[in-house]
Amino acid sequence: MSEDFPGWHGTTIIGVRKGDQVVIAGDGQVSLGQTVIKGTARKVRRITPGGTEVVAGFAGSTADAFTLLERLETKLEATPGQLARASVELAKDWRTDKYLQKLEAMLIVSDGKDLFVITGAGDVLEPEHDVAAIGSGGNFALAAARGLMEGDHDAETIARKAMAIAADICVYTNGNLTVERIGG
């Protein structure tokens, strides 16, 4: 990408696991440089390859993220019910395939049992403290959610409150949420 091009910026995606509930939430803002292009994008999706219900949220280039989601679906169809294995296989391909190496996105995925962050560096990370966040407002949402985990709130309430805090702080994050839940 040319340094003169302003580049796509922002989003915030959070995954929270508490009790038997996992929630992935994402904001709806798409920005190009200093301009908000769209405020109602859906960056959290529910996929069901091979009968396995998975929720995935993405940050980064939309086209790149959809390519990765399609690849994840293919991996899950080959290994039904094995999100960890499919995620590792995707990360290996992403790291070694010349086409995939150029993709600029990150994913948070969950099947209700496991919660992973998948990166282009070949990482499949299971977050500590049952909270993961990515994107420009990810650190704000992560800090807020970790602070809320000790209370009586369920996973969805924690995710919504953390996203509201991130939207108040990060100019590349808005309060228009897509929330998907598994369990609970």
Pairing state of beta strands 12-18 and 21-26?
Answer: antiparallel
CB-based contacts of 184: which residues, under 8 Å, 6+ apart? 19, 20, 21, 154, 155, 156
Dump the DSSP string for 115-139. EEEE-TTS-EEPPGGGEEEEETTHH
Q: Active site includes 35? A: no
- Helix (H/G/I), strand (E/B), else coil: 32: strand
Contact 13, 26 (CB under 8 A): yes
φ, ψ at 17 (rounded to 5°): -115, 125
Q: Which amino acid is at 177?
A: L
Report the catalytic residues: 11
